[in-house]
A = this chain, B = another copy of it.
Amino acid sequence: MENYIKLYEATRKKLKAYQYFGWLMGWDQETEAPELSVVHRTKQFQVLAEEAYMLQSNPSFMEAIEKLYENKEQLDPDFRVEIKNAFKELRMVKKVPKDELIAYQVLTSQASQIWAKAKNEDNFEAFEPTLEKIVEFNKKLVKYLETDEMKGYDILLDMYEEGFGVKEYDLFFNTLKDELVPFVLEVTKNNNQRFSRKLTKSVWPIDKQREFSKYLLEVFDYDQKRGLLKESAHPFTSGVSTSDTRITTHYHEDNPVSAIFSTIHEMGHGIYELQCDPKYDDTFLHGGTSLGIHESQSRMAENMLGRSLSFWSVHYPKLVELFPKQLKGIDVQEWVRFINQAKRSLIRIEADELTYSLHVMVRYEIEKMLISGKLKVKDLPKKWKTLMGQYVGMKPKTDKEGVLQDIHWSGGMIGYFPTYALGSAYAAQIYESMNLEFNIDEALRNNDIKKINAWNKEHIHQFGRTKTPKEILMIATNQEFNPQYFVNYLKKKFSN
């Protein structure tokens, strides 16, 4: 056993280094790498993928994992989880042909550029052959990995949210379909809300917006010695350890809201990773346990904390200080109404809290059909429009505003989207549980987000990947997942 542990740890050290290089290349690519550097970078990425594969498929490394897994009851509980995950990961090496896997990794490391160009030119056909390859690989992958217990789309879904498959998601989305869709279509039928032209037509200088983002870092106690805030086309969080977790935001001169809530959203993700127990940094247990739990932290920060009147009762004066002309005569109540509008829209990442999960549902239905073979890639744009009409009540005229809007599929992420909606639903359930222990609104009015961070650390963050999403939910809420919290939360908030 001792030798197997040593062997496992020696290889893990190298794999962690390769993971780090890949992480840094990704961060660089998405935030500043020059446009034409992609070909050269991809070559280095290919070497990295091959070297990592060599390590992962080394027979003695695989044997070590298998032996440790056989004797997992003797292992320390954290290490047992790591070995359980490593054992599960072995299937990629054992069941998927190496050349296909590496070719796919290389394909998806480059495809975002093809997608970006296609989106920019509103030309689905330019992306279609690439997406075709990606979908085909995922269909084959599902075949390679299927077992008696798990088949089809479930295999992909489980990769992002362990224990969640079509059965669980159908239950969740059917609740939304039954209860939320009619409510949303009703609430958004008429967009009668009127706001001051100051809010809708002002110019919001970007240097002032940057200043407010910096202020928000302080408010949320985001440790800038272990992280940083940068700018990128699409905001994201990129963490590699508890000493290095970075976030991005983006600024639009005609709109201050986007940057504010992007920054808060990404801080929710970032604080999760920064608050993991540092003892996991050199293991594969660092980071969020699942995308859904991760998203619960960003959505809670963004929507439940960041869009609340309690929050702005403290921080609105700072915003007015930075934008005195733009916010002249606008009181905090109008501001909070302004940032909580609900309306039908086409773009997921710009969608409001109420309609957001319905955008996700469109993608879930489509992925399910793509993987089962009921939908062909070429028919995607049409299906997209149909489903948007049904769930959101609005159809895009272009593919740029439709099926081409998201980067995810170009990165091979199929099974990922549903976790976005799940995250909001988890957040509603977790919020209720936290609120039983202390009054969250009061903490916000006291500008004490540290208290909220501390609760999340204790109940969620510290565990890293040692608990499954279902276990985390049980620790944090004493209950299994229940989407009714989410529906109730939205109905209450948006009935006014």
Stretch at the interface among A40-48, A63-71, A433-441, A473-481: A40-48
Q: Which of B35, B38, B40, B230 contacts A240 (CB 8 A)?
A: B40
Asked whether any CB of chain B lies closer than 8 Å to the CB of A207, the reply is yes
Q: Which of B36, B227, B230, B246 contacts A243 (CB 8 A)?
A: B36
Asked whether any CB of chain B lies closer than 8 Å to the CB of A369, the reply is no
Q: Which of B44, B48, B228 contacts A34 (CB 8 A)?
A: B228
With A and B bound together, what is the CA distance between A13 and B281 in angstroms?
30
Q: Are A226 and B37 in contact (CB under 8 A)?
A: yes
With A and B bound together, what is the CA distance between A282 and B241 in angstroms?
31
CB interface residues, A 24-55, toward B, < 8 Å? 24-25, 27-28, 32-41, 43-44, 47-48, 51
Asked whether any CB of chain B lies closer than 8 Å to the CB of A195, the reply is no
Asked whether any CB of chain B lies closer than 8 Å to the CB of A150, the reply is no
With A and B bound together, what is the CA distance between A298 and B20 in angstroms?
33
Query: Chain B residues with Cβ under 8 A from A38's Cβ?
Result: 243
With A and B bound together, what is the CA distance between A238 and B246 in angstroms?
22
Asked whether any CB of chain B lies closer than 8 Å to the CB of A197, the reply is no
A241-B40 in contact given A24-B24, A225-B35 (Cβ < 8 Å): yes
Q: Are B17 and A24 in contact (CB under 8 A)?
A: no
Asked whether any CB of chain B lies closer than 8 Å to the CB of A21, the reply is yes
Query: Chain B residues with Cβ under 8 A from A51's Cβ?
Result: 14, 17
Q: Are B244 and A47 in contact (CB under 8 A)?
A: no
Q: Are B37 and A243 in contact (CB under 8 A)?
A: yes
With A and B bound together, what is the CA distance between A27 and B31 in angstroms?
13
Asked whether any CB of chain B lies closer than 8 Å to the CB of A120, the reply is no
A34-B226 in contact given A51-B14, A244-B41, A282-B43 (Cβ < 8 Å): yes
Query: Chain B residues with Cβ under 8 A from A24's Cβ?
Result: 21, 24-25, 28
A16-B44 in contact given A21-B21, A28-B24 (Cβ < 8 Å): yes
Residue-wise, chain A 142-155 has the 8 Å CB interface mask toward B (1 for contact) of 00000000000000
Q: Are B240 and A34 in contact (CB under 8 A)?
A: no
CB interface residues, A 217-257, toward B, < 8 Å? 224-228, 230, 240-241, 243-244, 246
Q: Are B14 and A47 in contact (CB under 8 A)?
A: yes
With A and B bound together, what is the CA distance between A240 and B37 in angstroms?
10
Query: Chain B residues with Cβ under 8 A from A240's Cβ?
Result: 40
Q: Are A244 and B21 in contact (CB under 8 A)?
A: no
Identity of the chain B residue whose Cβ is nearest the Cβ of A281 in the assembled complex: B40
Q: Which of B13, B34, B41, B227 contacts A227 (CB 8 A)?
A: B34
Question: In terms of DSSP, what is the predominant structure of the interface of chain A?
Answer: helix
**Nearest Cβ on chain B to A35's Cβ, whole angstroms:** 5
Identity of the chain B residue whose Cβ is nearest the Cβ of A27 in the assembled complex: B28
With A and B bound together, what is the CA distance between A375 and B37 in angstroms?
46
**Nearest Cβ on chain B to A233's Cβ, whole angstroms:** 15
Q: Are B244 and A34 in contact (CB under 8 A)?
A: yes
A243-B39 in contact given A14-B47, A226-B34 (Cβ < 8 Å): yes
Identity of the chain B residue whose Cβ is nearest the Cβ of A15 in the assembled complex: B47
Identity of the chain B residue whose Cβ is nearest the Cβ of A207 in the assembled complex: B207
A32-B230 in contact given A17-B48, A44-B16 (Cβ < 8 Å): yes
With A and B bound together, what is the CA distance between A17 and B228 in angstroms?
27
**Nearest Cβ on chain B to A70's Cβ, whole angstroms:** 29
Query: Chain B residues with Cβ under 8 A from A207's Cβ?
Result: 207
Identify the interface centre among A14, A47, A228: most chain B CB within 10 Å of its CB: A47
**Nearest Cβ on chain B to A72's Cβ, whole angstroms:** 27
Query: Chain B residues with Cβ under 8 A from A37's Cβ?
Result: 226, 241, 243-244
With A and B bound together, what is the CA distance between A33 and B24 in angstroms?
10
Identity of the chain B residue whose Cβ is nearest the Cβ of A224 in the assembled complex: B34
Identify the interface centre among A35, A243, A282: most chain B CB within 10 Å of its CB: A243
Query: Chain B residues with Cβ under 8 A from A36's Cβ?
Result: 225-226, 243-244
List A residues at the B interface (Cβ < 8 Å).
13-14, 16-17, 20-21, 24-25, 27-28, 32-41, 43-44, 47-48, 51, 207, 224-228, 230, 240-241, 243-244, 246, 281-282
15 A-B Cβ contacts within 8 A? A14-B47, A14-B51, A17-B51, A20-B41, A21-B44, A21-B48, A28-B28, A32-B230, A34-B228, A35-B226, A36-B225, A37-B243, A38-B243, A40-B241, A207-B207
Give the 7 A-B CB pairs with smallest separation, nearest first. Answer: A17-B47, A37-B244, A20-B44, A21-B21, A17-B44, A40-B241, A35-B225
Apart from the given pairs A13-B43, A32-B228, A32-B230, 7 other A-B contacts in the complex at a CB distance below 8 Å: A14-B51, A21-B21, A34-B225, A34-B228, A36-B226, A40-B240, A43-B282
